[in-house]
Amino acid sequence: MTVAPLTVVVPLVAAGLLTAVAVRLNRAVAEVVALAATLATVTFCVILLARTASGSEVYWFGGWETHRGIAVGVAFVVDAFGAGLATLCSVLMVAALVLMWRYRDTDPPHFQTLMLLFLAGMVGFCLSGDLFNMFVFFELMSVAAFALAGYKIDEDEAVEGSLNFAVTNTIGSFLILTGIALVYGRTGALNLAQISEALAAGPSDGLVVVAFCLLAAGFFVKAAVVPFHFWLADAYAVAPTPVCLLFAGAMSELGIYAVGRIWFDGFADALVAHGDGLRTVLIVAGCLTALVGSVMCVLQDHIKRLLAFATIAYVGVFLIGLGLLGSDGVAGAAVYIVADGFGKAALFAAAGIVQHRRHHVSLRRLRSFGRGLPLTGVVWALGALSFAALPPFGSFFAKSLLEDGLSKEGYGWATAVLIATSALTAGAALRAGGAIFLGLGEGGPPEATEDETRSEEEAPPDRTPAVMFVPAVLLALAALAVGVVPGLVEAFEGAAVQFMNGSSYAGTVLQGGNAPPIEAGQAYSAPASAYVYSAIGALGAVIVAAAMLFGHRAPRSASRRLSRVGEWAVAPLRALHSGHIGDYVAWLVLGVGLLGGSFAIALQ
């Protein structure tokens, strides 16, 4: 069990040492050290994940354990979801580092140092079992992310995007800190298991609800749930593409994971009577996020903003899954996180390859530039199909688990939202892919004009280094593998049960008992309705893509009227995404107020 602290310590020591010898370092050494440290972390995380099959384990820092029911030290509580998410983060970090291998503008060793620190923050956050310790790792991850998002300092938007990102997320962390102060004031504890026992023993009054609301709101800012989401598109649009890969595949999901963790292992015992009300609030919030994200996704011309809004849409889907508060929903959300994490990462990797060649990110400028990149086109297509949740992709099984859960709890109408999300995001991705790689759509290849976004100064390379294709292909195959590898979906179901079992969590942490092992359920086969829904979604995606690519060939009056109605309908939504920090913070405050209000109504 000594592996647990090493997952965090190895990247930290590597980062410190890289900076200590910064002056005498050349780029190759920095990259090798960073890659080696990340691979070590991957190894440790996989070891931890393998051990969680026989039950979650607790690691106490500093040799301080518990004393008469008080948790004295800080604990890492490693269960399957935590270790799994940590593994996902470190694997995606490897992909990002490999993709970045040939970029000229990385300023060694600062870029590699920031990436290692980002990794340490994410991994520690997933494994921690102490509320304040989670906050500290969360801040490490955030500060590294702010610096990485603004890394391309020679672009105007990078500064603005990073500022919006930093200010909104910092306010989110103040919300979390206020929630922690409230919890500490009531329970006198920071360890999650001890908090759970103390809250359950006391009255479940306004303070408990407000504390949970503030903590959830702070984590929702990071996860980019509507209306806390405005910063995400700006940050993704300007960050270097390999960094976006990490943001989309790992960072956004951590917010949802955190809310799940603090609910099941912190507040669930105290607020157990209000589970139904919470379910409604979370599912409604998830649906809203999914719809706003998908609609904005379809309207985007800028590849990275398109993928950013797709990320927001899927965060909504994850929230729907978590919000079900049942093993179907939680397992579905987990499978979706992994499968979709790989899928989005593959899309970002493909976008990175195209951008490496052409330095533009708007579809207008990139049309048909992908023609010389067939492999990348295939990767893109696989990513888009993953969005469409077609079998045998992992996302198909995730979606069917969610649909099962929704119909069981009486929220069948939300299935329509899931289908719409798949259709719109996959349609947007297919349209982008068709335009870039097949040259479809309005207008031919654009003439050479001024760039909107330049990422490097030298002439574009004629050939993409082979090393960039490897992560893209592997990520796309991983998205496929989640659905194909036998027994994986069932393992997720067992892990979900373990995640939701707050009382055994508390027992393992506070009394040192042995945790129950994970029991994989019986083989999962998706019901026929899932195939039907998936087909509807895929059909919707094809219609959306075709309408956008070939709409200009329709009879002019009809298409013009249709597009004018469409523009009119979405103009207010687009206007809200103004890029102005004051707007974003105003919506954030309103979001907190609304979340609090809905908790007050639903949870009292």
Instruction: CB nearer to another protein: give 75 or 338.
Output: 75
Nearer to another protein among residue 261 and residue 399 (C-beta): 261
Whether 313 contacts 421, CB under 8 Å: yes
**313 or 480: CB nearest another protein:** 313
> What is the number of other CB atoms lying within 10 angstroms of the CB of residue 460?
13
- Per-residue HEC secondary structure of 33-67 comes to HHHHHHHHHHHHHHHHHHHHCCCCEEEEHHHCCEE
Closest CB to another protein among 386 and 508? 508
Q: How far is the CB of 601 from another protein (least distance, A)?
A: 12
CB of 165 to another protein, least distance (A): 10
DSSP string over 105-161: T--TTHHHHHHHHHHHHHHHHHHB-BHHHHHHHHHHHHHHHHHHHT--TTSHHHHHH
DSSP conformation class of 237: H
> Which of residues 151 and 348 has its CB atom nearest to another protein in the complex?
151
Identify the H or E element spanning 583: helix 581-602
Report the alpha-carbon distance of residue 3 to residue 573 in Å, rounded. 48
CB of 138 to another protein, least distance (A): 10
CA 518, CA 498: separation in Å to the nearest integer? Answer: 7
Compare residues 532 and 589 and give the one whose CB is closer to another protein: 589
Give CA–CA dist 487/495, Å, rounded: 12
Q: How far is the CB of 111 from another protein (least distance, A)?
A: 7
Least spacing, CB of residue 245 vs another protein, in Å: 19
**CB 207, min distance to another protein, A:** 3
Report H helices in 299-413: 303-323, 327-358, 363-366, 374-387, 394-409
Instruction: List 60's β-bridge partners, or say none.
Output: 75
Structure tokens at 337: 């996180």
Taking the complex as a whole, the smallest distance from the CB of residue 118 to another protein amounts, in Å, to 8
For 49, phi then psi, to 5°, come to -65, -40
Cβ distance to another protein smaller for residue 81 or 599: 599
* Nearer of residues 63 and 486 to another protein, judged by Cβ: 63
Contacts of 26 (CB under 8 A, 6+ apart): 108
